[in-house]
Amino acid sequence: MAYPDDLLGEDEYVVVHKHPHWKMLVVPVLLLFVVVGGGSYLAALAAPTPWHLPAWIALAVVGVVLLAWLTLAPLVRWRTTHFVVTTHRLMVREGVFTRSGIDIPTSRINSVRFRHGLLDRVLGCGTLIVESASDEPLEFDDIPQVEKVHTLLYREVNDDPRDDPGYAGEGR
């Protein structure tokens, strides 16, 4: 999925666009199975009772609320979180109802590091650490293919336009 072009400058294009790694959806999917299984079990227990219809309605209401809170909300949060590297900046956007974002011009980035443990290495994700002119380094967790993103971002940060054969600026 391409990032919206209306957020990009005239000569800016997307180098990398990622959502967080799918591992952050494992627990919500497991909770989906627990809620559906537990609700089905409780509905079966309530079936032989004379008050089974109100019990089923109550179970359905509780089940829908739990599914929306424990499964649907994390899925929507994952889908609306964007990590984007362009030719000019690093952008992070997250949130559903309240959106937040950060833009860091590549010219202001001092260093780029990554970190991933054994499980992250097996799953192919990790934490990207970006040091810029701000006081604290920014850490972006669960970035898929973090080593590739690290390399691409490093290239964008250290890309000198004078190295481009088509460069017609001053000094040549």
pLDDT (tens digit, 9 = 90+) per residue, 68-91?
A: 999 999 999 999 999 999 989 999
Count of beta carbons in the 10 Å neighbourhood of residue 165: 4
Q: Residue 30: which pLDDT band, with cuts at 50, 70 and 90? A: very high
According to DSSP, the residues that pair with 111 across neighbouring strands are 131
Q: Are 155 and 124 in a shared domain?
A: yes
We report the CATH number of the domain holding residue 127 as 2.30.29
Indicate whether 43 belongs to any domain: yes
Indicate whether 19 belongs to any domain: no
Q: Which amino acid is at 91?
A: M
Average pLDDT over residues 7-24: 89
pLDDT given for residue 1 in this prediction: 45
Bigger pLDDT: 154 vs 164: 154
pLDDT given for residue 9 in this prediction: 81
CA distance 132 to 130: 6
Average pLDDT over residues 19-29: 95
Contact 132, 140 (CB under 8 A): no
Indicate whether 7 belongs to any domain: no
Q: Are 105 and 50 in a shared domain?
A: no
pLDDT given for residue 167 in this prediction: 46
Indicate whether 169 belongs to any domain: no
At 146-155, the pLDDT tens digits run 999 999 998 8
pLDDT given for residue 21 in this prediction: 95
In a 13 Å sphere around the CA of 15, the CA atoms on its Cβ side amount to 21
pLDDT given for residue 164 in this prediction: 53
Q: Are 96 and 141 in a shared domain?
A: yes
At 110-128, the pLDDT tens digits run 889 999 999 999 999 999 9
Bigger pLDDT: 10 vs 31: 31
Radius of gyration from C-alpha coordinates of the chain: 23
Indicate whether 13 belongs to any domain: no
pLDDT given for residue 53 in this prediction: 93
CA distance 124 to 23: 10
Residue 104 scores a pLDDT above 60: yes
Q: Are 105 and 72 in a shared domain?
A: no
Q: Domain residues for 141?
A: 85-160
Bigger pLDDT: 133 vs 151: 151
CA distance 92 to 89: 10
Q: In the numeric block, which tokens belong to residue 111?
A: 């260093």
β 125-132/14-18 pair status: unpaired
pLDDT given for residue 136 in this prediction: 84
